Structure 1
Amino acid sequence: MKLVFWAGFWAFLVDQASKYLVVHVLNLREIGQIEVLPPLLNFSMAWNRGINFGLLADSSTLAKWLLIAVALIISGFVYYWVSKDRPGKIGLVAAGLLIGGALGNVVDRLLYGAVADFLNMSCCGFTNPYAFNVADIAIFAGAIGLAIWGGEQKADVTSDEG
């Protein structure tokens, strides 16, 4: 289960470091937008009080705590699942990415009352109105990884590699 821990740790750390950098150091919360490699990559501050694409963006305290609870329950379930039905190394890394990303967004809700989204990517004449963050990438990659490698290859349960 070491792979789950380390993948989660690094996903969480990179997510929180990137958010600290853009929100506090680059002061994106006040500036609002920074063109990095237009139109491919821009930093565009968005405070997401809901889930993906602003769904359930009810700004009530109840919604905030409900979303925190759901993220923690899902993280706990994923950890329990991969500890009982251990996938191969890629599946363990995927589980760690999903958990680390979910915990990164939980910390945002605790610190800011909303998730700090700032990455905006557009291309080829399509203007993307949505922003996301490193935690969202980790959650998405982890979920896809678990769907593909979440149980097909068993790890050696006597080994301490994972």
Structure 2
Amino acid sequence: MKRLWITAIAIFLVDRLTKLVVVEWLDLRSLADIEVVPPFLNFVMAWNRGVNFGIGASGSDLMRWGLIALAVVICTGVIWWFRRAEGWLVPVSAGMLVGGAIGNVWDRVQYGAVADFLNMSCCGIDNPYSFNVADVAIFVGALGLIFFTGKDAE
């Protein structure tokens, strides 16, 4: 359980720090985009009021608070489900998922939407979507839970 909490807190803090630096200090909110290493990495401001890729982005307060409640319920379930996990892969994976989800919940409370700003393109493919550190942690954590839960190689 300790690894889950340490990972969740670390992911949450890294997510908050990156958003503070990029969205606030570099003023991406106003600039809308900053070329970092074009075309591979750019900061492109996107406010996600829905779920993945903006699905369900009605912009309503009901949707906002509903998504906050859903994230809290899912985090509580993940913590409860993996509270006694052995090894280190499953607790770290669960912590990544929880830390990322709480990072995005914080955004919904603070901004009314999730602040996405990382945009990566490669090899002639122009990616129209932005994401954030929390999104990466949620994705990697979910994959870890799928691949490592119930395995002896923890």
TM-score, normalisation: structure 2? 0.97
Counterpart position of 2:66: 66
C-alpha separation in 1, matches of 2:87 and 2:69: 28
C-alpha separation in 2, matches of 1:153 and 1:21: 40
Cα contact 1:88–1:150 (8 A) shared by 2: no
Cα contact 1:88–1:149 (8 A) shared by 2: no
Alpha-carbon offset, residue 23 of structure 1 = 1.0
Counterpart position of 2:48: 48
Counterpart position of 1:158: none
| Structure 2 counterpart of 1:88, one-letter code | G
Deviating 4+ runs (over 4 angstroms): none
Secondary structure of the residue that 1:83 maps to in structure 2?
A: coil
C-alpha separation in 2, matches of 1:136 and 1:87: 25
Question: Is 1:20 the counterpart of 2:20 in the alignment?
Answer: yes
C-alpha separation in 2, matches of 1:54 and 1:5: 29
Aligned residues: 154
C-alpha separation in 2, matches of 1:92 and 1:154: 13
TM-score, normalisation: structure 1? 0.92
C-alpha spacing 1:108/1:47, structure 2 compared with 1 (3 Å): same
C-alpha separation in 2, matches of 1:114 and 1:138: 18
Alpha-carbon offset, residue 150 of structure 1 = 1.9
Q: Deviations over 1:63-122 (max 9, x none)?
A: 0000001100110000000015x1421111000000000000000000000000000000
Question: Which residues of structure 1 form unaligned runs of 5+?
Answer: 156-162
Aligned runs of 1:1-162 on 2, under 5 Å? Answer: 1-84=1-84, 86-153=85-152
